[in-house]
Amino acid sequence: MAGGARDPGRSVTSRALAILGAFDAHQPRLTLTEIAERTGMALSTAHRLVGELEEWRALRRGADGRYQIGRRLWELGQLVPDPLQEVARPWLQELFGGTGENVHLAVRDGLEVLYVDKVYGKRAVPIVSRTGARLPMHPTGVGKALLAFEPGWFVSSYLSRPLERPTPHTITEPGRLARELTQVRAQGYATTHEEMTLGSCSAAAPVLAGDRPVAAVGIVVSSRRVRELPRLVDPLLAVAARIAGDYRAAVSRPFP
């Protein structure tokens, strides 16, 4: 690359980062050949950079010979200062304890929801949201709760794109979605019924700091128990309000 010749440092760092970026939730384990293919690098370059990343424990070679992200990056990731997660966890805990249902916390990142925490027990329905996972906004409860409180231009821009349809129940018609978002905003919470995953329904409420939605709390139950969803709304709204209160208090404190 011409840029590489002029500024070798730049291209080496970005190549090392590109190797880390080759790993994702769909492909958390990669062979050296796959890494080279995914990053468009020569095998010899990939080999050398992977070796350095492995030495630093940013990557780890598993028993199957494939590379995976190393625990050192997990540790670094835990340093991300997140007053939201910190204040939310005990309240998610209370919500789970009081209802026995799976509970999660998500934030908006770009046009997706990013699941940042999850509280679940042995008896509840398995949920699709892995901590660290990203999902589109319109088929998820947390996504609709967040979208409904975004400014109009953002919502219009979201709805103007072709929308994914993970199940036959996903609402993708822009007019219908816009009307639903107006209702979510009015009532203060969103619900879904098998829109992301067959067999699951959910309710979700935004965590509002001022009128800005900083996160959403969701609760997921089996769709066989959809009639129990309404009784979960009050505890859900109460917990979202508590998290919002603690969050506002946390961010108004000076840095430690």
Q: Which is nearer to its own copies, 17 or 249 (CB)?
A: 17
Which residues contact its own copies (rule: CB under 8 A)?
A: 8-10, 12-14, 16-17, 20-21, 23-25, 28-29, 45, 48-49, 52-53, 56, 58, 62, 64, 68-71, 73-81, 89-91, 93-94, 96-97, 109, 114, 119-122, 130-132, 255
The partner residues of 215 in beta bridges, in order of sequence, read 207
State the minimum distance, in angstroms, from the CB of residue 228 to its own copies.
19
State the minimum distance, in angstroms, from the CB of residue 39 to its own copies.
13
State the minimum distance, in angstroms, from the CB of residue 72 to its own copies.
8
State the minimum distance, in angstroms, from the CB of residue 50 to its own copies.
10
Q: Which is nearer to its own copies, 46 or 229 (CB)?
A: 46
Q: Which is nearer to its own copies, 181 or 239 (CB)?
A: 239
Q: Which is nearer to its own copies, 198 or 251 (CB)?
A: 251
Q: Which is nearer to its own copies, 18 or 233 (CB)?
A: 18
